[in-house]
Structure 1
C-alpha cells in the first residue's frame, strides 16, 4: 500500500477541520434557535399571564360596581323606606302623647337618631352608586362630588365642564370613580388647598385636566411600588381605552391629563 502524500494529509486535516467547524456551527445554531424559541414562549406566557391578570382585575372592578349598585338600591329601597316609616310613627306617637314629658323627650331623641341614620344611609348609598349619574349624567354627578369634597375639607375646587352629549354609563362611571380617586387622594395625602378640574370633549375625545397645589410625589418611585391610587386610575382609564399622563414631583403639586376616545355609541347611548 502506498504511503499517503503530504498533500493528502493536508486535505484530510483541512476537510476534518471544515467538518468540525460545520458541526460546531450547527450545534451553536441549534442552541441559539432553541434559546430563541424558549424566550419567545416565555414572553408569550408572560404576556398571556399579564393579560389574564388584567382581565381578572377588570372583572373584579366590574363585579364591585355591580355589587355597589345592588347594595345602594337595597339601602335606598328597603332600609331608607323603613327608617322613613319609623320616623313617621315616632312623630305620630309624639302628637298623641304631648301630656307625657318623658315620652316627648324620648320621641325627640328617636327622631334625631333616625334623621342621622337616614342621612348616613343616603351618604353610603351615594358612595356606592353616584347620585344622579344615571338620571342626570356625568356633569351633574361630578359637580355633586366636588361640592361634597369642599364641604368635608379646606380645599377650594374650580370645576369647568363644557357642554357634553350623553356618554355611556360605563365611561361615565369609570370617569366618576377616577375623579373620586383623585379627590380622595387630595383630601387624604396631598395637603392641597386648590384644585382645578376641567372636563371637555374635543374631536370625539373626552379630556380631563386635573391640577392641584399639593406636595406632589416621586412618580417613578410611586409607580415602582405600584401605588394603589395610581393603579386604580390607570386601570380604570385602560378599561375604557383611555390614556393617562402624570406630571408631578415632590413639592410641586400634581398634573394629570386623561384622554378617552368616544365613539358614536359612547356619546349617544346610555348602556
Structure 2
C-alpha cells in the first residue's frame, strides 16, 4: 500500500489537471459562444433599427410626395377649374352686353365663383403654412384647427392646453402637424364622435395626449401594412427627439401619448 501511494498521487494530480484544463476550456468556450451570441443579437438589432429608420425615411418621402400630389390635384381640380369657368362666363358677358338679364346672371355667377376660389386658395395656403401660427402662437393655431374640424364633422373635441413654454417656430409647426394628422385620421378612419386632446408642459418637457371613442384598429397589422398616418406621427415625433406610445384595439378607440423635450425659443437679433 505504501508503494502504490505515489502512483495514486500522480494519477490524482494528473486527473485533477485534466479536469481543471477541461473546466477552463469549457469556461472559455462558453464565454466565446456567449460573446458571439451577443454580437449576433447586436447585429440583428442594428439591422432591424436600420431597416426601421429606412422605413421612416421612405415613409417621410412618400408623405411629402402624396402631399404634393394632393396640392397639385386641388389646384388643378378646384382653382384651375374655377378659373376656366370664370373665363367662360366673362366671355359670355362680353358677347351679351346688350342682354341685361344674361349679363346680370353671369355677373352673379362670376362673383360667387371668385369668392369660392379665394376660399379655396386660402384653404390650400393654410395647409401649407397654418394661418396665425407664427403670429399668434401654438395655442391659437391648435384652437383654430380644432374649431375647423368640428365645423366640418360631427366630432366634439375637448381641448386642454396648459403650455407655459415658448418653443421655436419649427417645433410649433411640427406639433401642429402632429395634431393635424391625428384629427385627419379621426375624420377619415376612426368614425369617432368624441376626441379628448391635451397639450401640457412640465418644465422643459411637453406631453401630448390624444383619445377618441372611434372604432380602433389592430396596431400590429396597421403598422406592418406601413400605415401612412402612423408613420407620419412617428416620423414627426422623432424630428423633435420624442417618443410615441399607441394604445388601441378594435372597437376600443385610440389612445396616444407623445413626450418630447422643448428647446427654448432663440431670439434673432437684428443687425
* TM-score in terms of structure 1 length: 0.68
* Cα deviation digits, residues 130-165 of structure 1 (max 9, x gap): 432456543344334323433443211233434666
Counterpart contact for 2:204–2:263, Cα < 8 Å: yes
Number of the residue aligned with 1:43: 41
Number of the residue aligned with 1:193: 193
Residue 207 (structure 1) aligned with residue 207 (structure 2): yes
| 1:255–1:58 CA distance, 2 compared to 1 (3 A) | closer
In 2, Cα distance between equivalents of 1:205 and 1:126? 28
Residue 9 (structure 1) aligned with residue 3 (structure 2): no
In 1, Cα distance between equivalents of 2:140 and 2:63? 19
In 2, Cα distance between equivalents of 1:108 and 1:52? 59
| 1:225–1:155 CA distance, 2 compared to 1 (3 A) | same
Number of the residue aligned with 1:153: 153
| 1:216–1:52 CA distance, 2 compared to 1 (3 A) | closer
| 1:106–1:196 CA distance, 2 compared to 1 (3 A) | same
How much does 1:28 deviate?
0.9
Number of the residue aligned with 1:22: 20
Describe how 1:48-197 pairs up with structure 2 within 5 A. 48-57=46-55, 59-60=57-58, 63=61, 89-90=87-88, 92-99=90-97, 126-127=126-127, 129-132=128-131, 133=133, 137-162=137-162, 166-197=166-197
Instruction: Provide the aligned length of Structure 1 versus Structure 2.
Output: 262
Deviating more after overlay: 234-243 vs 246-255: 246-255
In 1, Cα distance between equivalents of 2:74 and 2:6? 101
Partner-residue secondary structure (3-state), 2:214: coil
Structure 2 residue runs of 5 or longer lacking an equivalent are: none
In 1, Cα distance between equivalents of 2:38 and 2:30? 12
Number of the residue aligned with 1:233: 233
* TM-score in terms of structure 2 length: 0.68
| 1:79–1:170 CA distance, 2 compared to 1 (3 A) | farther
Deviating more after overlay: 76-85 vs 140-149: 76-85
Deviating more after overlay: 62-71 vs 153-162: 62-71
Partner-residue secondary structure (3-state), 2:13: helix
| 1:60–1:37 CA distance, 2 compared to 1 (3 A) | same
Structure 1 residue runs of 5 or longer lacking an equivalent are: none
| 1:22–1:117 CA distance, 2 compared to 1 (3 A) | farther
Counterpart contact for 1:158–1:196, Cα < 8 Å: yes
Counterpart contact for 1:83–1:118, Cα < 8 Å: no
